[in-house]
A = this chain, B = another copy of it.
Amino acid sequence: MLTRVRSAVASLMGGMMAGGSNGDHPDGPDLPLKFPYSRPDFLGLSPDEVECSADHIARPILILKESRRLPWSTGYAEVINAGKSTLNEDQARCEVLVVKRRPSGSPMSNRIPTARRRSSLPNGEGLNLQDNPDSSEELTFHYWALFDGHAGSGAAVVASRLLHHHIALHLQEVLEILCTPNLVPPTCLDEEPINHLLTVTSHRGLTRAASLRGAAGAPGSPNTATPRFFTEKKVSHESLVIGAIENAFKDMDVQIEREKASYNVSGGCTALAVVFLKGKLYVGNAGDSRAIIIRAGEIIPMSAEFTPESERQRLQFLAYMQPQLLGNEFTHLEFPRRVQRKEVGKRMLYRDFTMSGWAYKTIEDNDLKFPLIYGEGKKARVLATIGVTRGLGDHNLKVHDSNIYIKPFLSCCPEVGSTCSFIMLLLSLSMCGFVYDALNSSNVPITPNVQQNLVMV
């Protein structure tokens, strides 16, 4: 149902880009690129084909060449979002990685890459896992990721090149534990075992009332000097993988910020990463891309979108606690529309960070400031600038013609879910129409002005 369309129509951008980010790297334009701009390696495009892919008139749909195969027969299709940016600012990545034990005695380094790629992807050879079963010394994981870029292609290019290495690094830290199926992750590495049973038994007689007075070892409790432990939380292998993915996103964002001192890394991007490890699929999402599972005709969302509307209360709470982030130009309160000066003293609908409902308040001068969250649906914006509230990059992004930074409101932390199901689609924000078409096995024309990027497993 996916067709590979090649177009030789010359780029005729016309006035379409007039207002948009145009991919010419407004951040640090005098610095070199960290990585050259390209489409995903696994598409195997020639420079000429890359140029054609950015044709805003023909909008060719790019899919895999038949000679190239991704693991699990993964499918992929993309098309440029006409009229938005000169280049397609989105990126995708598919890898099979092997994490090996760190050489003993080596210091904790952040060297990248630590993980050796098993196969010579993207040409797809050497993927036969059965020829090379896992030893207890190494861990193989599959990785698919989408990066929906904005305001430049730099962050998405860097993240597509490096995020999986950060994940591999964090998995390497817990490699020995993950490779030992029945081992409960030790609370403290290299510690002597503690007889938990004895400790628990000796405290069983405590009433809830007595324990309310202060847990053992709590400040002010009588036994601060010799802490005792009621229980010790047991942590699962799955929690370690989730923690590894979470911290990898954070490290990726820190690295992008660091690289900007030496390189031109423009814009920002969402990140939606899927990791398959030891029979489980983990979906880490920071942004408004979507991962869905299709099972028995049912569509199961595997990620939640992070937008000004879905994260309104987190953002309002942050602004309420740190009002200096609003630069005296914005208010953390939400109103159904912009307040006008003539309305001061009247009663208007509002929402604070504590509210999911609405109420009326008397309008004051301070309410004339622009709302932190403004607009509805796809037009909702944070600080009148950005429509997605999690992702990587954007460190230099400011409110237009001001010194107010957006980044403090953007979280790079993904929400990570896991499942044992394997049939999955990753898609960027505007793909729903196309996915439903695909599900119906019909080949209706793609609606215009829709950006598409998907990986099908």
Query: A189 on the interface (CB 8 Å rule)?
Result: yes
A109 proximal to B (CB < 8 A): no
Q: Mark A151-171, 1 if CB is under 8 A from B, else 0.
A: 100000000000000000010
- Complex interface residues of chain A between 53 and 112 (CB less than 8 A to chain B): 83-85
Distance between Cα atoms of A63 and B388 in the complex (Å)? 53
- Whole-angstrom CA separation of A90 from B289 in the bound complex: 46
Choose the segment among A4-12, A37-45, A344-352 that binds chain B (4+ C-beta atoms closer than 8 Å).
A344-352
Closest Cβ neighbor of A227 among chain B residues: B338
B215 engages A384 (CB within 8 Å): yes
Contacts of A415 in B (CB 8 A): 356
Q: Which of A220, A235, A401 has the most CB of B within 10 A?
A: A220
Most B C-beta atoms less than 10 A away, residue of A212, A340, A402? A212
Complex interface: stretch among A240-248, A297-305, A436-444: A240-248
Q: A218-B370, A336-B187 are in contact. Are A356 and B246 (CB under 8 A)?
A: yes
Compute how far the CA of A160 lies from the CA of B49 in the bound complex, rounded to whole angstroms: 72
Instruction: Name 25 interchain pairs, CB-CB below 8 A, sorted by A.
Output: A19-B213, A20-B212, A83-B207, A85-B209, A188-B343, A189-B346, A212-B387, A214-B385, A217-B338, A218-B399, A218-B400, A220-B399, A227-B340, A229-B338, A230-B375, A231-B379, A234-B336, A235-B336, A239-B358, A242-B356, A243-B358, A244-B357, A246-B355, A246-B356, A356-B416
A interface, over-half SS: loop
Q: A376 to chain B: which residues have CB within 8 Å?
A: 231, 233
Q: Is A329 an interface residue (CB 8 A)?
A: yes
How far, in angstroms, from A343 to B189 measured CA to CA in the complex?
Answer: 9
> With A and B bound together, what is the CA distance between A196 and B235 in angstroms?
55
**Which residues of chain B come closer than 8 Å to A19, judged between CB atoms?**
207, 209-210, 212-213
Taken together as a complex, chains A and B put the C-alpha atoms of A83 and B322 apart, in Å, by 44
| A330: interface (CB < 8 Å) | yes
Q: Is A409 an interface residue (CB 8 A)?
A: no
Task: State in angstroms the CA–CA spacing of A187 and B318 once bound together.
Answer: 25
Chain B residues, Cβ within 8 Å of A378: 208
Complex alpha-carbon distance, A347 and B187, angstroms: 8
Inter-chain CA distance A227–B229, complex, in Å, is 60
Contact indicator A244/B335 (Cβ below 8 Å): no
A215 to B16, CA, bound (A): 19
Known A-B contacts A217-B370, A358-B235, A384-B221; A84 and B209 likewise in contact (beta carbons under 8 Å) = yes
Closest to A240 in B: B358
The chain B residue sitting closest to A224, CB to CB, is B370
By the criterion CB–CB under 8 Å, are A359 and B243 in contact?
yes
Given contacts A18-B210, A185-B358, A188-B346, 5 further A-B contacts (CB under 8 A): A189-B346, A213-B400, A214-B384, A242-B355, A354-B413
Which A380-439 residues have a C-beta within 8 angstroms of B? 381, 384-387, 399-402, 404, 411, 413, 415-416
Let me know if A131 is at the binding interface, CB within 8 A: no
Q: Tell me how far the C-beta of A313 lies from the nearest C-beta in chain B, rounded to whole angstroms.
A: 10
How many angstroms between the C-alpha atoms of A335 and B416 in the bound complex?
20
A232 within 8 A of B: yes
Nearest CB in chain B: distance from A270 CB, A: 15
- Given the known interface contacts A209-B20, A346-B191, the answer about A170 and B219 at a Cβ–Cβ threshold of 8 Å is no
- How far does the alpha carbon of A173 sit from the alpha carbon of B207 in the complex, in Å? 46
How long is the Cα–Cα vector from A232 to B375 in the complex, in angstroms?
8
A229-B337 in contact (CB<8A): yes
Contact of A343 among B191, B208, B246 (CB under 8 A): B191
Interface pairs A-B: 3 shortest CB-CB: A242-B357, A20-B209, A218-B384
CB-CB under 8 A from A399, the residues of chain B are: 214, 218-220
Q: Which residue of B lies closest to A192 (CB)?
A: B342
* Cβ-neighbour of A235 out of B218, B349, B374 (below 8 A): B349
